[in-house]
Amino acid sequence: MNIIPIKPARRASIAWPAEGLTRVPYALFQDEDVYADEQQAIFRGPNWSYLCLEAELPNPGDFRSTFVGDAPVVVTRDADGELYAFENRCAHRGAMVCLEDQGNAKDFSCVYHAWTYNLQGDLVGVAFKDGINGKGGMKPDFCLGDHGLRKLRVASLHGLVFGSFSDDVPPLDEYLGDAIVERIARVLEGRTPVVLGRFTQMLPNNWKLYFENVKDSYHASILHLFFTTFQLNRLSQRGGIIVDEGGGHHVSYSAVDHSATAKQQKPANDYAEQKIRSESEHHLEDTSVLAGIDEFDDGVTLQILSVFPGFVLQQIQNAIAVRQILPRGARQTELNWTYLGFDDDTPELREMRLRQANLVGPAGYVSMEDGCVGGFVQRGIDAASDANSVLEMGGDSAESSASRVTEASIRGFWKAYRNAMGY
Amino acid sequence: MAQDVQQLIARAQAQYVRCIDDGDLAEWPDFFTPACVYKITTADNYRRGLPGAMIYAASRGMLVDRVASLRDANIYERHSYRHVLGQPFVLSDDGNEARSETSFMVARIMRDGSTDLFATGRYCDVYVRHADAVDEVKLRERIVVCDSSRIDTLLALPL
């Protein structure tokens, strides 16, 4: 029998503006049908979603609960040492089989009717399968092997674990491309991360508004005055952006240009001329919040890396974190922060990471604005579902650039998005 | 400290929340000793012994900086808090310093009037008697342990 795969029709019909990547319809941030289509085409489609860290599952039987889009997912390490992931939904009547965030288990038994699954998600037992005293029970042709949990493909790279519901997704390193893999390796290769803390921020906006913000190297030193004032991230610093070929992944980085800063105070003037708030008289009572070391021996003080559709690896000085972006309906996003150190941190370096963590997270000196600015857009466009945003900074392409005064990586996101959604 | 330590702590905390909710935030660092620790974390991190925090100040200077940044650097929509505290529970008191825990609920009132329960949790405190004023206690350590791991939108004003 030939099986012809049927692609479900899209619920929403979006006509992309003729200008292309420099215009984005606001309806994409509002429409419930678009949201439902995204779940299917992106989060359950041929993409890799971040699940957890390998270091969070060191031992056989360890598990963690997470999400891929709307789908609840469990990641496990089985006795064979391998990682597995499956949808947290009993094959019988759909109840979640795992009700803990993390732990160690021999198997997962659904509380509803005690259908039991092994750590790989295979069904190994059904309560009263053969009935009682020859009466009742499952149909005689019922086969346990046909009723496992829906499994995800799992791949990990330098300790980051990704999963995909799709069999069509390319291998993870191919999906990411060399430039992105290299920049992940820069931070994580050969190291054992230690979780320093986990925080969740509920953002009052569509998930794409946050992902745009992550990829927006143009806003960083304008919205976040703290950075600007303390010379952490001026656009005139040495830096650039990398956008992968598909557009969905990006890296923005900057390094202290010692030769330039020694010569002159020109950067401050650049900002004054643009009437951007940059109060250079601002000073800190206790500068230890900014004390750090050149951990990677390359002078790069900031590297923000994103992977389509919802992963961020952040290095801001020695504040290292992964962020998982989870859509929670068209108008809400869950942002999960995991702050990292490494097992070979000296006590001094560990303390620096903890102090620098003041820069990031829900209360971060250079990140709290990102928590509210998406909501400003979401509310601002409430009566503008037929209008578009304008993304012309740095031209109309979605390519890597030595300048960070560009929206190229945001356009890259929309390139990947349109491709995934068929818009 | 004398037997009225619970009263001293209760009074200090009443002043503390009045400062944040209705007073001048610039005075907030004065509730702490110069060498102090102030942290905001979650019950989950606290239970697991994870040291990371949403806000971590290791000196009064860092608290002053936090206030300055909120005032001059950070962008957020205008809002205020209303703290409601439980009775302090004194865990230990060696006459010099006292450890106590106090539960709190904080409502956040936004610019447009919407009022939501923003955070619940407990303060895990170390109070010391003020060197010059025997009837005054200062915080040498305050770990704010939020019950939930979720923060809505952002955390700007201190708890």
Please say whether the beta carbons of A207 and A311 come within 8 A.
Answer: no
Distance from CA of B8 to the nearest CA of A (A): 29
Is the CB of A202 less than 8 angstroms away from the CB of B69? Answer: no
Nearest CA in chain A to B157: A363
Alpha helices in A115-177, H assignment, sequence order: 172-176
**CB contacts < 8 Å between A and B, how many?**
121
Q: What is the pTM of this model?
A: 0.94
CA atoms within 13 A on the CB side of A149: 35
Q: Poorest-confidence range of A108-112, A221-225, B86-90, B95-99? A: A221-225
Dump the DSSP string for A294-337.
-TTSS-EEEEEEEETTTEEEEEETTEEEEEEEEE-STT-EEEEE
Contacts of residue B152 in chain A, CB cutoff 8 Å? 202, 204
Is the CB of B153 less than 8 angstroms away from the CB of A358? Answer: no
**Reduced to 3 states, what is the DSSP secondary structure of residue A39?**
helix
Q: Does residue A285 belong to the interface with chain B, where contact is any CB pair within 8 Å? A: yes
Nearest CA in chain B to A363: B155
Question: In the block, which residue shows the tokens 């935030």?
Answer: B25
Q: Poorest-confidence range of A246-250, A270-274, B31-35, B92-96? A: A270-274
- The strand pairing partners of A304, in sequence order, are A252, A314
Alpha helices in A189-298, H assignment, sequence order: 207-214, 220-223, 225-229, 258-263, 266-273
Contacts of residue B61 in chain A, CB cutoff 8 Å? 284-286
Distance from CA of A179 to the nearest CA of B (A): 31
CA distance A325 to A335: 5
Q: Does residue A111 belong to the interface with chain B, where contact is any CB pair within 8 Å? A: no
Distance from CA of A393 to the nearest CA of B (A): 23
Distance from CA of A326 to the nearest CA of B (A): 13
Of B51, B77, B155, nearest to A354 by CB-CB distance is B51
Of B51, B62, B68, nearest to A197 by CB-CB distance is B51
Considering chain B, what percentage of its residues have pLDDT values greater than 90?
90
Is the CB of B52 less than 8 angstroms away from the CB of A355? Answer: no
Burial class (CB in 10 A: 0-12, 13-18, 19+), A351: middle
One digit per residue, the tens of pLDDT, for chain A of length 423 reads 567 766 778 899 999 999 999 999 999 999 999 999 999 999 999 999 999 999 999 999 999 999 999 999 999 999 999 999 999 999 999 999 999 999 999 999 999 999 999 999 999 999 899 899 989 999 999 999 999 999 999 999 999 999 999 999 999 999 999 999 999 999 999 999 999 999 999 999 999 999 999 999 888 778 888 866 665 545 557 889 999 999 999 999 988 766 554 444 444 455 555 555 555 566 788 989 989 999 999 999 999 999 999 999 999 999 999 999 999 999 999 999 999 999 999 999 999 999 999 999 999 999 999 999 999 999 999 999 999 999 999 999 999 998 888 999 999 999 999 999 999
Please say whether the beta carbons of B159 and B106 come within 8 A.
Answer: yes
Give the H or E element holding residue B18: helix B5-22
- The strand pairing partners of B127, in sequence order, are B98, B139
CA distance A326 to A67: 7
Is the CB of B69 less than 8 angstroms away from the CB of A369? Answer: no
CA distance B155 to B159: 9
Nearest CA in chain A to B73: A225
Nearest CA in chain B to A371: B153
Distance from CA of B53 to the nearest CA of A (A): 7
Is the CB of A288 less than 8 angstroms away from the CB of B58? Answer: yes
Which of B10, B34, B39 is closest to B98 using CA atoms? Answer: B10
CA distance B151 to B159: 12
Nearest CA in chain A to B53: A197
CA distance A412 to B38: 41
Please say whether the beta carbons of A206 and A378 come within 8 A.
Answer: yes
**Reduced to 3 states, what is the DSSP secondary structure of residue A109?**
strand
Interface of B with A (CB under 8 A): 40-42, 44-45, 50-59, 61-62, 64-66, 68-69, 72-77, 149-156
Q: Does residue A303 belong to the interface with chain B, where contact is any CB pair within 8 Å? A: no
Which of B106, B108, B105 is closest to B78 using CA atoms? Answer: B108
Distance from CA of B125 to the nearest CA of A (A): 20
Of B59, B73, B150, nearest to A226 by CB-CB distance is B73
Nearest CA in chain B to A321: B52
Question: In the block, which residue shows the tokens 């170390």?
Answer: B126
Which strand ranges, in their side-by-side order, compose the sheet holding A319-327?
A238-243, A250-255, A300-307, A311-316, A319-327, A333-342, A193-203, B150-152
Is the CB of B62 less than 8 angstroms away from the CB of A195? Answer: no
Q: Interface pTM (ipTM) of the complex? A: 0.96
CA distance A236 to A233: 8
**Reduced to 3 states, what is the DSSP secondary structure of residue A409?**
helix
Q: Does residue A282 belong to the interface with chain B, where contact is any CB pair within 8 Å? A: yes
Question: In the block, which residue shows the tokens 């829906």?
Answer: A150
Contacts of residue A368 in chain B, CB cutoff 8 Å? 74, 76, 154-156
CA distance A212 to A304: 13
Contacts of residue B41 in chain A, CB cutoff 8 Å? 197
